[in-house]
Amino acid sequence: MTRQTVLVTGGSGFLAGHCILALLKAGYDVRTTLRSPAREAGLRATLAATGAELDGRLQVAIADLTADAGWDAAVAGCSHVLHVASPLLTAAPPDEDELIRPAREGTLRVLRAAHRAGIKRVVLTSSFAAIGYGRPLDRPYDERDWTDPAAPGLAAYPKSKTLAEKAAWDFVDGEGQGLELAVVNPVGIFGPLLGPDLSASIVLIRTMLEGKLRAVPQLMFGVVDVRDVAELHLRAMTDPAAAGERFLATAGDFMTMRAIAEALKAGLGQRADRVSTVVLPNWLVRLVARFSATARQAATPELGRKKTATGAKAIAMLGWQPRPAAEALVATGESLFRLGLVSPPRP
Ligand code: NAP
């Protein structure tokens, strides 16, 4: 029997790498897009180092979210598409369109190409950032909720993810009718890295393990393991009930940064000696933000705000079983040490 081929956009990314591995393991062939052919050898080496059998099963296509070229060829012959690629920057860009344009227009490029090719279903990687920003709630956020893209002070990244996801739903309700869409909205993605490219969530853990975050602001994050997010993409791709649905992916309740620091210390022992559990008062963060770009990243309307979200829908509808948040955080740390991206503290 010939295997189905699934397109995964942005194969060089943290989550996309794990999606590729999960698809190969589940018996699919995979095509993935890269922006540059120069990255193909590195991607193959990274995936092969996990023991994955790639021979004849992984193809690479070249396409950029900011241009039309390559997308029709990338989707040709595929049964499904996982559209995972989207720009994440560790620092706010001077022009928010640097994030918004590739996110929204890139999503439409992928969906249009998928529709033209008669693809059955696209799974879009959106984010909790499209659900839980700009509208404080006194209950856990769930799939009914949307970030207000016009909320004052909203950062470029949540705006980009909200506008991209909205554009995707509008597309399948309009000119893209017939194409099935399912959306996964992960909270902060942690877990084992496959290679040296660090996504924004991982940079935070590296900074903490290196002792460069001397004290933690009062911000709350959702945590989910990258392996579980990849697994949820496969369920959203194949389960008939998932078409037309959003799935919030979180391992459990949101954690304060202090709880994240404590989980790293409990799981990594001495290797997390440089992690600080000192909590910064909000007034100090706001004061320092006047002079420091780093502090400005924390001094958002989210500072000091209590929030949480629920992944109950994915658990009940798709039988998804995420591992505990602490396991995801510790696995991030373990992989940073194993890959030599953080040196252990001197005894
Ligand atoms: P990542 O490692 O930074 O991967 C992002 C991917 O997008 C990379 O492959 C990157 O390619 C690609 N990309 C960026 N701009 C592009 C463009 N103009 N054209 C083509 N490809 C482009 O991030 P990740 O954590 O795996 O994120 C994957 C998805 O999950 C994204 O949609 C993100 O919004 C979503 N998400 C992430 C988190 C999180 O905590 N990390 C949480 C919720 C949702 P290059 O390697 O060439 O730059």
* pLDDT tens readout for residues 195-239: 988 888 899 999 999 999 999 999 999 999 999 999 999 999 999
> What pLDDT does residue 347 have?
75
What whole-number distance in Å separates Cα of residue 228 and Cα of residue 249? Answer: 8
Cα 103 to averaged position of ligand 1 atoms, centre (Å)? 10
> What pLDDT does residue 47 have?
97
The dihedral through the CA atoms of 164, 169, 174, 178 has a sign that is positive
Cα 155 to averaged position of ligand 1 atoms, centre (Å)? 17
- Residue nearest to ligand 1 atom 2, measured at CA: 13
Cα 316 versus chain centre, distance: 22
For 152, counting Cβ atoms within 10 Å of its Cβ (0-12 exposed, 13-18 middle, 19+ buried), the class is exposed
Give the HSE-up count for residue 169: Cα atoms under 13 Å, Cβ half-sphere: 13
DSSP secondary structure letter of residue 176: T
To test the ligand 1 pocket, which listed residue (8, 9, 14) has its Cβ within 8 A of the most ligand atoms? 14
DSSP secondary structure letter of residue 278: P
Q: How many residues does the chain have?
A: 347
Give the HSE-up count for residue 94: Cα atoms under 13 Å, Cβ half-sphere: 0
Q: Locate 305 and state its tokens.
A: 């705000």
Task: Give the three-state DSSP class for 117.
Answer: coil
**Residue 276, number of CB atoms within 10 A of its CB:** 17
Query: H or E segment at 5?
Result: strand 5-8
To test the ligand 1 pocket, which listed residue (40, 65, 88) has its Cβ within 8 A of the most ligand atoms? 88
DSSP secondary structure letter of residue 67: S
Mean pLDDT of 144-164: 93
Ligand 1 site: residues with CB under 6 angstroms? 10, 12-16, 35, 64-66, 84-88, 102, 125, 127, 161, 186, 188-189, 197, 199-201
Mean pLDDT of 120-134: 96
Q: Which top CATH class is 5-192+223-253+308-324?
A: alpha beta
Residue 1 has pLDDT above 70, yes or no: no
Q: What is the side-by-side order of every strand in the sheet holding 246-249?
A: 58-62, 29-34, 5-8, 80-83, 121-125, 180-186, 246-249
Ligand 1, atom nearest to 85 Cα: 7
- Is 136 or 79 the better-scoring residue by pLDDT? 79
Mean pLDDT of 164-193: 97
Mean pLDDT of 314-320: 98
* Residue 173 banded pLDDT, cuts 50, 70, 90: very high
Residue 293 has pLDDT above 80, yes or no: no
